[in-house]
Amino acid sequence: MFSVFAGIALILASVGLYAVTAYAVTQHTREIGVRVVLGAAPGQVIALFLRRGAVQLGIGLVIGVAGAFGVGRLLQALLVQTSPRDPLTLISIVALLTIVAVVACIIPARRATRVDPLHALRHE
């Protein structure tokens, strides 16, 4: 049952991060157009939105790992064959969340690189 809830939470987190990044891309369409007109490479535009996603990911991971340590003691009786502070489990979860976050940020960031500069500058 915990696995099902964890999967649902992972899907919700990835969709939420995707939505926030996609919204940021639409809000910064004019800025992206100006950057492209001034000679920004597509990699620079992608890096811009990946940095923003990395900040959100970092804040979420710090809060999540701290919460895992706090709640781990309460759930110790329910944990089977693992401890509440198992480093392999925590590292694998952090790696999985990082991969999901990067994928959720790359999709709208790649779409931002295909913005037509003329359309972006006329965008209201």
- Tally of domains in the chain: 1
Rg (CA), the chain: 19
- Domain extent, residue 80, equals 2-122
Chain centre distance of CA 23: 13
pLDDT digits (tens, 9 = 90+) for 65-89: 998 888 877 777 777 777 777 888 8
| 21 against 121, higher pLDDT | 21
> DSSP assignment, residue 77?
T
Contact indicator for 94, 105 with CB cutoff of 8 Å:
no
